[in-house]
Amino acid sequence: MLSMEIQDKNAGGFKRIGGAWFRFLVFAIIVPFLFTNCERDIDFKLKEEEPKLVVEATIENGAAPFVILTNSLNYFSTISPQQLSQSFVRGAEVYMSNGSRTHKLKEYTVTVIGNLQLRYYSTDSSSLSTAFVGELNKAYSLRIVTGGKEYTANTTVPNITKRIDSVWYKAGPPQLDTNKVIVMVKATDPPGFGDYVRYFTKRNSEIFLPGLNSAFDDLFIDGTTYELQVGAGVDRNTTITENDLFFNKGDTVTLKLSNIDKTTYDFWRTIEFSYQAIGNPFSTPVKVLGNISGGALGYFGGYASQYRTIIIPK
């Protein structure tokens, strides 16, 4: 064992210090020195990325094409209404084809609260000879030309394979107020894997909102009839509480269940996982799987939708 001798002035000689005390003494002397001498300021120089095109494009059975184009913002940007309005892409050439007809979409502007302008592309009413709405079991292609670049994507509106059998409600959890209710759905999944769905709910006259986890596959329910709680759709721009996931007595609730292809499912599966991982240092990094070529972000998705409505008495 290591040891050392030091002179004991009072005794006029030497005394031995055991190895454990020696190590403690060394530790007590060296460690503060290390901490005081190893500190350094680290400055991260974040790379300024050029804005990327962000695409949200959909086609649904019985509905017109709908495309929103924006430019991405820096991660640490402070987003104001004006900055959000300025992020919308203007003057793009947007084409959608159903295989037999190609329609050039028209840019539209909607003014909302505080003169905030939102922009989107949809059917050009002055050129109806090439216009179309979405059809079941049909493939579609998208082409966007903006900023001297071209972006493309493909999707399908599949058949409606997953069937809604019935929708009903029951009392909400006892820990919540008595006005809350749970909406349930009974559905049948056809035999054979590969049925992907995304769901939305509408409360009274509000807009359809996706569920907190809105996209599902049929890995565990293939070929079965099952019952499942329908969580209320949520607005991710607001703070979401447990109460927001339930409906209220007196609500008229509309459930929208959409069959989607795997590409659309993969986009929403990964982006919703990414939402949940924000701020969690122990989460697994995830790459959002879009389907837009040319380095753009986002997706082009087809929806085969069915609807059911239930009126919940007060």
pLDDT at 310 over 90: yes
- Which pLDDT tens digit goes with each residue over 82-115? 788 889 999 999 999 999 999 999 999 998 877 8
Lowest mean pLDDT among 19-23, 61-65, 160-164: 19-23
> What pLDDT does 11 receive?
43
d(CA 59, CA 57): 7
Give the H/E segment covering residue 54: strand 53-60
Are the beta carbons of 110 and 117 closer than 8 angstroms? yes
* pLDDT band of 46, cuts 50, 70, 90: low
- Which pLDDT tens digit goes with each residue over 221-280? 999 999 999 999 999 988 999 999 999 999 999 999 999 999 999 999 999 998 877 656
pLDDT at 189 over 50: yes
Are the beta carbons of 130 and 97 closer than 8 angstroms? no
Give backbone dihedrals phi and psi of 142, rounded to 5 degrees, phi first: -130, 135
> What pLDDT does 282 receive?
65
* pLDDT band of 292, cuts 50, 70, 90: very high
121: closest CA among 60, 55, 61? 55
Q: What percent of the chain has pLDDT above 90?
A: 70
- Which pLDDT tens digit goes with each residue over 136-156? 999 999 999 999 999 999 999
Are the beta carbons of 137 and 261 closer than 8 angstroms? no
> What pLDDT does 251 receive?
98
Residues 151-166, mean pLDDT to the nearest whole number = 97
Contacts within 8 Å (CB) and 24+ apart, 173-178 = 173/246, 176/242, 176/243, 176/246, 177/243
The amino acid sitting at 193 is F
Are the beta carbons of 257 and 160 closer than 8 angstroms? no
Lowest mean pLDDT among 18-32, 40-54, 255-269: 18-32
d(CA 105, CA 127): 9
Beta bridge pairs of residue 17: 4
105: its two tokens: 């979409």
Are the beta carbons of 253 and 309 closer than 8 angstroms? yes
C-alpha pair distances (Å), 18 with each of 29, 66, 100: 17, 80, 91
pLDDT at 31 over 50: no
Q: What percent of the chain has pLDDT above 70?
A: 82
Average pLDDT, the chain: 87
> What pLDDT does 283 receive?
67
